[in-house]
Amino acid sequence: MLGVLIAAQITATFVLAVSATHNGWVYFQGGDQIVNTTTGWLLGQLQIPPTEVGYIWPVAQVPITWVTGPTFVQALPALVFLDVLILGPIALLCVYEIAAHIGGRLIGYWAALLWVVAPFVAIPLFDQRYHEKWIDQFLPQALGLTAMPDYPSMVIALAAAVFVVHSLSPGRILDAVLAGLLAGAAGGLKPPNYLFAIGAVLAYLLARRWREGTVFVIVILPSLLVLAFWKDRGLGYVPALTLDHIQLATGRGAVVGTELNLDRYINLDFQHWRDQMDQLREFFWSARLAQWAPFAGLIAVVRVRRGAIAALLGGWLAAYVVVKGFSPRASIESNTFWRLLMPAWPAYLLLFACIPLLVPTFARRLGDRMRGPHRTQVRARWIVLAIVLTIAVPAAATAASTQLGPPDPDALVQTTSTAATILTPVDDSIDIRIEPTAAGQRVTWTGGPWRADVFYRLYRFDGGESDVDCRTRAEAAWDCYMRGTEIGVTREHALVDPKAPPGAVYRVGVGTNWVDDPEQGDIFAFSPSARAAR
Domain boundaries of the chain, sorted by first residue: 2-403, 411-531
Section 138-165 average pLDDT: 96
Helix axes 173-189, 196-207, angle to 10 degrees: 160
Q: Are 183 and 190 in contact (CB under 8 A)?
A: no
d(CA 164, CA 198): 12
Q: Does residue 257 carry a pLDDT above 50?
A: no
Closest residue by Cα to residue 324 from 400, 267, 364: 267
Cβ contact 347:199 at 8 Å = yes
Residue 457's pLDDT band, with cuts at 50, 70 and 90, is very high
> How confident is residue 245, by pLDDT bands cut at 50, 70 and 90?
very low
Percentage of residues in the chain having pLDDT higher than 90: 74
Helix (H) or strand (E) run with residue 413 in it: strand 411-415
Distance in angstroms (rounded) separating the CA atoms of residues 263 and 243: 10
pLDDT digits (tens, 9 = 90+) for 472-496: 877 777 888 888 889 999 999 999 9
**530 strand-pairing partners:** 506
Look at residue 340 and tell me whether its pLDDT is greater than 80.
yes
CA atoms of 412 and 525, how far apart (whole Å): 9
What is the strand order of the sheet 477-482 is part of? 421-425, 411-415, 477-482, 468-473
Model pLDDT, residue 262: 56
Q: What does the pLDDT read at residue 341?
A: 94
Fold of 411-531: Immunoglobulin-like (2.60.40)
Measure the CA–CA gap between 350 and 354, rounded to whole angstroms.
Answer: 6
CA 303 to centroid of chain Cα atoms: 35
pTM tops 0.75, yes or no: yes
